[in-house]
Each structure stands twice: as structure tokens, then as C-alpha cells.
Amino acid sequence: MLVTGGGHGYSWSLARHQAGINLDLGFFNTVQIDPVANTMTIGGSVQTRDVVGALYAAGRELAVGICMCVGYAGFTLGGGIGPYSGLHGIASDSLLCGRHGHGRGRSVHRICQQPSSLVPRFERRRLQLWRRHLAHLPILSRHQRRPGRRDQHDVPGGA
């Protein structure tokens, strides 16, 4: 099975995918920002350019990569390292929760992050490790994250 959506991949093995199932997440393409809760909910096929545009309009930022046509879910599942990682951490750091599917067709909702005061220290460490290994999730159809404000940092080399 091949899961596609908003972006592209660099894998040379995709050309050999024949007589298989292609699961297209193309309709999971919404971006919703809740300014009161300071959260952003992103569909599984949203491209980075859509995330950047919505965040800019709301005065927010997240870690993004260099290529704007990459699907943001794939970027996150791959670790999410980019030029803003020094300011905002890697993309998986801002992940609050995600909805993904599994082989039986059910949607599974996983809580990835909770306020530190509610989580014991050993559990916080486990959650940090879990977020670093997101690539084991087969399909991420929707995810929610907490963006930072654009004006909360000094731009290196800026005026």
C-alpha cells in the first residue's frame, strides 16, 4: 500500500509500486487556526506552503522545511528538521495530538503531548521519545500543533 496526499517523496522505490493500493489523502487538506487556544489543526495532505500562509496571516510560526511543496504530515513524521529548528525546535516538538489509521480501518486518536504539570517526569521522557519516533505511524490524517508567535524571537543577522 502506498499513501499519498499533499506532497512528494524522494524515494526511488515509488516508481516500482505496481498492482498495489494507493490511498490518496488529498481531501484531508484543511488548515484551521484557533487563536484563543493557540492551536493549529492540519489535514493529512496539507502542503507546507498552506501551513506557512495560514500561520503568516495569524501572526504565528512553526518549524518548516525549505521546500514548500512537501506535505506537512510527511515532513513531521520524518522528524521535521528545517531552517527554523533553532528557533522553534523540530516539527514533531509542536505536535499536540494526531489521528491516524491502522490496518483494520479504524481511526485511532493518540495524545502526544500534555501540559508538563499533569505528566510525571518519567512519562514526559517517554512522550519525548515517542514523538521522536513518529515514522512508525502508517497514516496521519489529521494533527494538531501549537505554533509560536512571529514576534517572539530575534532574527539572526536581522536589523
Write the pLDDT tens digit of every residue in 92-107.
777 777 776 655 556 5
Q: Residue 25 corresponds to which cell in the numbers above?
A: 489523502
Q: Residue 34 corresponds to which cell in the numbers above?
A: 484557533
Closest CA to 132 of 67, 85, 78: 78
Q: Report the pLDDT averaged over residues 148-152.
A: 69
Question: Total domain count for the chain?
Answer: 1
Which structural domain, as residue segments, surrounds residue 18?
2-149
Is the per-residue pLDDT at 126 higher than 60?
Answer: no
Task: Please indicate, yes or no, whether the overall pTM of this predicted structure exceeds 0.75.
Answer: no
Is the per-residue pLDDT at 114 higher than 80?
Answer: no
Is the per-residue pLDDT at 29 higher than 70?
Answer: yes
Residues 36 and 45: their CA atoms lie apart, in Å, by 25
Residues 74 and 97: their CA atoms lie apart, in Å, by 15
Task: Classify residue 144: in a domain, yes or no.
Answer: yes
Residue 145 Cα distances to 55, 96, 154, angstroms: 12, 5, 22
The pLDDT tens digits of the residues spanning 7-17 come to: 665 566 666 66
Task: Classify residue 94: in a domain, yes or no.
Answer: yes
Closest CA to 111 of 103, 122, 124: 124
Query: H or E element: which one contains 128?
Result: helix 121-132
Q: Supply the mean pLDDT for the chain.
A: 71
What does DSSP assign to residue 77? H
Task: Classify residue 158: in a domain, yes or no.
Answer: no
Q: At 114, which CATH number?
A: 3.30.465.10
Q: Report the pLDDT averaged over residues 45-70.
A: 89
